[in-house]
A = this chain, B = another copy of it.
Amino acid sequence: MTGADDWYRLSPRTIERERDVAKTARKNAVESDPKRPAGAPRPIAGAAPVEADAAARDDTEIIALDLPPEPPTPAIEAYFAKCEEKLGFVPNVLKAYGFAMPKLEAFAAMYNDLMLAPSGLSKLEREMVAVAVSSHNRCYYCLVAHGAAVRQLSGDPVLGELMAMNYRAARLSKRHRAMLDFAVKLTAEPWAVEEDDRARLREAGFSDRDIWDISAVAAFFNMSNRVASATDMRPNKIYHSQAR
C-alpha cells in the first residue's frame, strides 16, 4: 500500500503524478474553456427554442437530492487537491458522495483500485469496459465522464464515440471484442453468464485474474450507473469538450 505510483490511494502521502494523463487533462481544461465561448456554434436563427444551454446547471446542481456536504476528512481534502492538480477539477461524482465521508472514502478506494491500480488490463481497456457497460445502461453521467477518458487515453476521439454508441460497430481486436462481449452480457443478463463465457475470455488470452478485473469493472459500473441514474447525477461540463 505504499510507493510512488499509489497516489490514488486515499492518504496524505506524497505521490507521483501520472504525468501524461494529467498534462492532457489540464491542457484540455485550460484550452477548452476560453476556446468554447469563441468557437462554439451559434444557434441557427429561427430554430425552435430549446433550453438555452442543456448543461447550464450541471456543475451547480449535481444531483436531484438535497444532501448538504460534510466537512472533508484530511484524506479527502488531499484527494480533492490531487484531482484539482491532475484533472483541473473535482469530478462531480465525488462531490455527490460528499455528504458522507465514509461513503466517499469507500467509493474512491474501490474506484481507484479498480481503475488505476496495476492490472493485466490497461487503463484504456478498463475505461472501454466502463463506457460499453454505461452505454447498455444509458447512463448519462458515466458516458460523458468515461467517454472523455477513452478519448483521452486512446488519443482517438472516435473510439470514445464508438464505445458510447455501440461497441459492436467498432473494429476491435479479438481480445477487445471478447472483453466487451463479456462485460455487456454480464450487464444485460448476469444470470446467464457461465463457464462458456469465461472460456471465451481465456481463449482470447485473458488470465483468471484478468477475468476478475473485467468482471469487477463491469460490475462496478453497473453500480455507478444506477447511483447516477437514481440521483440524476450531472457530469462536469468540461468533459464534453475534452479530447475531441
Question: Which residues of A does B touch, CB under 8 Å?
Answer: 1, 9, 20-21, 24, 28, 31, 39-55, 57-58, 64-67, 99, 102-103, 105-107, 109-110, 113-114, 117, 121-125, 128, 135, 137-140, 143-144, 151-159, 161-162, 164-166, 168-173, 176, 182, 186-187, 190-195, 198, 208-209, 211-212, 214-216, 218-220, 222-227, 229-232, 237, 240-244
Contact = CB atoms under 8 A, between A and B. Distances in A.
Contacts of A172: 50-51
Q: Quick one: copies of this chain in the complex?
A: 6
A113 B124 contact: no
A242 B157 CA distance: 12
Contacts of A242: 41
B216 A103 contact: yes
A181 to B, nearest CB: 11
18 contacts: A43-B155, A48-B121, A49-B173, A50-B173, A51-B172, A54-B159, A58-B158, A65-B212, A103-B216, A110-B110, A135-B138, A140-B162, A140-B166, A144-B161, A157-B241, A211-B230, A218-B230, A219-B230
Given A51-B173, A67-B212, A241-B157, A193 B20 contact: no
A192 B51 CA distance: 21
Given A66-B208, A157-B40, A241-B157, A226 B187 contact: yes
